[in-house]
């Protein structure tokens, strides 16, 4: 599927229509490969939206860059008139949402065509992407072996990878945008938390939750992000890699990296160096400290337990592996939670002092390629091990409230590998600009 900007250019030029784009995406979403990606489709609403945009385009109305572009949304954003089930059967029958989530309101105002709600790990509480209630969307890169898509935004990533949507609006609490993007060969963006409103979003951990995007390119992510953040549209500014300094951690994020990921990441870093970037290998003792602070479930366990205890859903209907993680929060004391809050504030302050805000951090998004679904469904211990591995690297950005981007860096035909970029809090637009330069360098040096 083409990038958003190319599709919009064809729309404006009259070479295609939003109706055609929408029908194509709906057809993909309902064929044999797409049925597990969505928990809910809105075909009639999508067609009405597309037709309305086509009429405005024909009348010469100046519209948002996302107007007429089919988009998928994760099943944890409220949509007026529908129950937000967050990938669970336990919430079926709960009241419908009275209003749209803030990001849905902004997407509708921009003219985005919402195709439906995408499948996800139940309550967004896993980086694997397996859902025993609605089925697990299959990672499209391997046609021989059914592999995990990554989570928790499993359906969102597969909807983009299989051409059912031009972008997916998702959440990211510990990597839920970047993990499936990396495993499916896509781009995933996690903004600074306060950049995009969480109003009307089903929570996992309010301390860490953020609204992210999965799409084909960095520019696509930037276009969606600007709409969700309420920014005026602007092109990504030019960024020269020769002026950028990248710190490459030699501890923690590099532990247990499999051979294919390690080799692909090393080759990618060399391409950036060849393009003029300054590469500095260093150690980050803070990463091990963060791991120690999160050893008893971090923020997600107590915050999710508190929420679900009040929610009143039947725990017996929860995915046992998700419920297991939620119930860890039952043992967290108030003193432990407050200590964790204080430790995070201190860590964020120390990190800002220790590392220049002008520096970027580079590491593999996840240390492994996507394993087979069956392997993790049949072995709960292996599921837990893989889940920890997948969450380990991207969750650092959530704890420190950094902005972060995962960019595919594998050679064509190889198993997908994500190169992850961390930037200082609030440097989202600059990070996307630098990410676009990285993307161009990786492509140029592959020719």
Which residues are catalytically annotated? 74, 152, 176
The two tokens of residue 244 are 């950028």
Whole-number Å distance between alpha carbons of 46 and 23: 9
Radius of gyration of the chain (CA): 21
Q: How many residues does the chain have?
A: 447
| C-alpha closest to that of 75 among 18, 22, 133, 24 | 133
DSSP E strand boundaries for 144-287: 167-171, 187-190, 211-215, 245-249, 278-282
CB atoms within 10 A of CB 352: 13
Specify burial of residue 308 (Cβ count, 10 A radius: 0-12, 13-18, 19+): buried
8 Å CB contact between 404 and 421: yes
Q: Give the DSSP H/E element, type plus range, for residue 245.
A: strand 245-249
Give me the residue label for tokens 């696509």: 220
Sort residue 116 into left (φ over 0), alpha (ψ -120 to 50) or beta: left
């Amino acid at each position: 599927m083409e990038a958003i900007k190319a599709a919009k250019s064809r729309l404006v030029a009259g070479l295609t229509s939003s109706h055609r784009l929408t029908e194509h995406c709906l057809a993909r979403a309902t064929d044999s490969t797409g049925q597990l990606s969505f928990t809910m489709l809105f075909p009639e609403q999508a067609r009405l939206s597309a037709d309305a945009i086509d009429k405005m385009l024909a009348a010469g109305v100046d519209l948002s860059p996302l107007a007429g572009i089919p988009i998928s949304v994760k099943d944890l954003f409220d949509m007026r008139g529908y129950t937000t089930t967050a990938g669970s059967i336990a919430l079926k029958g709960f009241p419908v949402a009275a209003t749209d989530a803030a990001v849905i309101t902004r997407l509708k105002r921009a003219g985005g065509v919402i195709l439906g709600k995408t499948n996800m790990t139940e309550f967004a509480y896993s980086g694997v992407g397996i859902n025993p209630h609605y089925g697990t969307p299959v990672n499209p890169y391997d046609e021989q072996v059914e592999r995990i898509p990554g989570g928790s935004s499993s359906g969102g990533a597969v909807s983009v990878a299989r051409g059912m949507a031009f972008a997916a609006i998702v959440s990211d609490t510990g990597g839920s945008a970047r993990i499936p993007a990396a495993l499916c060969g896509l781009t995933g963006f996690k903004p600074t938390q306060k950049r995009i409103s969480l109003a009307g979003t089903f929570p996992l951990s309010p301390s860490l939750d953020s609204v992210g995007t999965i799409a084909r390119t960095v520019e696509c992510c930037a276009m969606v992000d600007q709409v969700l953040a309420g920014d005026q549209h602007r092109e990504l500014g030019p960024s020269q890699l020769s002026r950028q300094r990248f710190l490459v951690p030699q501890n923690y994020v590099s532990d247990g990296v499999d051979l294919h990921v390690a080799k692909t990441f090393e080759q990618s870093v060399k391409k950036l160096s060849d393009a003029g970037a300054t590469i500095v290998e260093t150690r980050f003792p803070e990463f091990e400290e963060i791991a120690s602070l999160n050893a008893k479930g971090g923020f997600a366990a107590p915050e999710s337990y508190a929420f679900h205890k009040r929610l009143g859903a039947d725990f017996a209907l929860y995915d046992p592996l998700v419920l297991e993680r939620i119930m860890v929060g039952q043992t967290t004391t108030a003193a432990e939670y407050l200590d964790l809050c204080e430790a995070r504030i201190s860590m964020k302050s120390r990190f800002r002092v220790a590392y220049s805000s002008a520096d970027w951090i580079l590491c593999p998004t996840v240390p492994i390629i996507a394993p087979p679904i069956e392997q993790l469904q049949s072995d709960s211990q292996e599921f837990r091990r893989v889940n920890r591995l997948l969450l380990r690297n991207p969750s650092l950005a959530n704890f420190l409230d950094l902005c972060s981007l995962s960019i595919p860096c594998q050679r064509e035909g190889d198993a997908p590998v994500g190169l992850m970029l961390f930037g200082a809090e609030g440097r989202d637009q600059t990070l996307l600009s630098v990410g676009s330069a990285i993307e161009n360098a990786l492509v140029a040096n592959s020719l």
